[in-house]
């Protein structure tokens, strides 16, 4: 089943790999059942909030994937040597995360089988979601080529494939931002902010993922991290701190812009974040665990203590998952006819993910985990290639 050779294989890794596979099977089962009984029955999404936790999970995975590609490209594409030791794992993780994202959205679409047919036969070139899907397809292709070339030690060609991957990734990911940002109907999203913010927050997520999963891979297989990898993670830590600061800057201005002059739609949403139904998610997860804590800790340890950085990076990844949830759901909560004196209109639309949706989310985590751990075993812990 798995091409396992070399040192990276122990009962812990195999055990976690099996657990991941079980999660994947459960998620797949829940997803397939949802197609049979109908998404209306199985999922918590509504006419008013058509995008739920599966879309935000998709966004989470592809944000992380793009970030892994972009942040690691500093080393293997743009030639900054100290970051090269984490290249192989980062590229592989980028592939794992994008596939986990495709899994989540595949279970979310009502008719995913029509996608490959009509995406190519009847493309809408004005649609951001068309560009996003198509460019992510290209991105996955380049990442697979790049990973293959890295494994074959053909670093020059790998860098070229990597560059194409970076370009496709930036284009795809900013288009994902535009999927939200170019919808006039939801004022909280609307504007050029989203595509730009998505790239910045992707690089932040990517840095956190490199630090956490590299640490996790060594820790779990009980190996000592070699010096060049430690150095690479320390550099990644600096990049992480910088990008966290950038995203803090973005978040502060998003809040101010949504408060100043009480802009319709934006204001109602930001109030839901600051002191409404999303306040806990916002302050505890997004602000504290996602931004402030990692920034303070990474700066506090001067990006040297790998264990401390890995801990806050892991928590930050969880927080980023919540961040994506808030972004996707929060953007849809203001009623369409708000402010028109409509009787019986709620202050905010309400959405709660269903059990099936959560199981599919776990399934995507299972797919990611299984691929990641298989990669550790199959590629011998992504041994630094010199």
Which region among 11-19, 114-122, 153-161, 283-291 touches another protein (by CB under 8 A)?
114-122
Q: Extract the tokens encoding 364.
A: 């995507």
Whole-number Å distance between alpha carbons of 111 and 106: 9
Residue listed under structure tokens 């509504």: 46
State the Rg of the chain over Cα: 21
Binding track, positions 174-193, relative to another protein; x by CB under 8 A: -----x---xxxx-------
Q: Is 138 in the site for another protein (CB under 8 A)?
A: no
Q: Which part of the chain contacts another protein (CB under 8 A), choosing from 24-32, 48-56, 63-71, 244-252?
A: 48-56
Query: Closest separation between CB of residue 257 and another protein, Å?
Result: 17
Is residue 19 near another protein by the rule CB under 8 A?
no
8/70 Cα distance (integer angstroms): 27
Give me the helices (H) in 85-226, please: 87-108, 114-121, 128-151, 155-181, 193-220
| Residue 32 makes contact with another protein by CB under 8 A | no
> Looking at beta carbons only, is 47 or 386 nearer to another protein?
47
- Which residue in 309, 49, 69 sits closest to 173, CA to CA? 69
- Burial label for 56, CB within 10 Å (0-12, 13-18, 19+), is buried
Of 7-15, 111-119, 247-255, 366-374, the segment contacting another protein by CB under 8 A is: 111-119
Contacts of 121 (CB under 8 A, 6+ apart): none
Q: Min. distance of Cβ 272 from another protein in angstroms? A: 18
Distance from C-alpha of 177 to C-alpha of 167, rounded to nearest angstrom: 15
Q: Which stretch binds another protein (CB under 8 A): 201-209, 319-327, 332-340, 368-376?
A: 332-340
**Judged by CB under 8 A, does residue 258 bind another protein?**
no
Dist. CA 26–CA 21, nearest whole Å:
9
Closer residue to another protein (CB): 39 or 382 = 39
Structure tokens at 121: 């036969």
Window of 44-52, 220-228, 307-315, 378-386 that interacts with another protein by CB under 8 A: 44-52
Distance separating alpha carbons of residues 137 and 270, to the nearest angstrom: 34
Of 190 and 250, which CB lies nearer to another protein in the complex structure?
Answer: 190
Instruction: Please report how close the Cβ of residue 265 comes to another protein at its closest, in angstroms.
Output: 10
133 binds another protein (CB under 8 A): yes
Residues near another protein, by CB under 8 A: 38-40, 45, 47-48, 50-51, 109-112, 114-115, 118-119, 122-124, 126-130, 133, 179, 183-186, 264, 332, 336-337, 340-344
């Amino acid at each position: 089943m798995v091409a396992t050779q070399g040192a990276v294989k122990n009962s812990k890794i195999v055990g976690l790999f099996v657990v991941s596979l079980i999660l994947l099977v459960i998620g797949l089962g829940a997803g397939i059942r949802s197609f049979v009984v109908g998404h209306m029955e199985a999922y918590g999404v509504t006419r008013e909030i058509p995008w739920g936790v599966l879309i935000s999970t998709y966004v989470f995975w592809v944000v992380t994937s793009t970030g892994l590609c972009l942040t690691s490209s500093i080393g293997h594409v743009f030639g900054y040597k100290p970051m090269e030791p984490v290249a192989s794992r980062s590229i592989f993780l980028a592939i794992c995360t994008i596939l986990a994202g495709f899994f989540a959205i595949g279970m979310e679409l009502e008719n995913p089988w029509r996608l490959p047919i009509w995406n190519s036969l009847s493309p809408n070139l004005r649609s951001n979601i068309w560009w996003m899907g198509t460019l992510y397809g290209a991105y996955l292709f380049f990442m697979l080529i790049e990973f293959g070339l890295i494994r074959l030690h053909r670093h020059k060609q790998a860098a070229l494939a990597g560059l194409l991957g970076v370009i496709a990734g930036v284009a795809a990911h900013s288009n994902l931002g535009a999927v939200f940002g170019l919808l006039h109907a939801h004022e909280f999203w609307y504007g050029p902010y989203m595509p730009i913010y998505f790239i910045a927050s992707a690089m932040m997520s990517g840095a956190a993922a490199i630090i956490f999963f590299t640490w996790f891979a060594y820790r779990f297989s009980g190996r000592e991290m070699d010096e060049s990898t430690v150095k690479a993670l320390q550099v990644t830590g600096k990049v992480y701190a910088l990008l966290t600061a950038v995203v803090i800057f973005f978040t502060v201005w998003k809040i101010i812009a949504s408060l100043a002059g009480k802009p319709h739609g934006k204001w109602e949403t930001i109030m839901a974040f600051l002191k409404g139904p999303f306040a806990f998610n916002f302050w505890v997860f997004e602000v504290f665990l996602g931004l402030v804590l990692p920034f303070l800790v990474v700066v506090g340890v001067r990006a040297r203590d790998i264990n401390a950085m890995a801990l806050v990076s892991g928590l930050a990844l969880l927080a980023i998952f919540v961040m994506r949830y808030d972004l996707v759901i929060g953007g849809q909560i203001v009623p369409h006819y708000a402010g028109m004196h409509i009787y019986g209109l709620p202050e905010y639309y309400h959405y709660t993910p269903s059990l099936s949706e959560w199981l599919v989310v776990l399934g995507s985590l299972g797919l990611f985990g299984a691929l990641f751990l298989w990669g550790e075993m199959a590629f011998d812990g992504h041994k630094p290639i010199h």
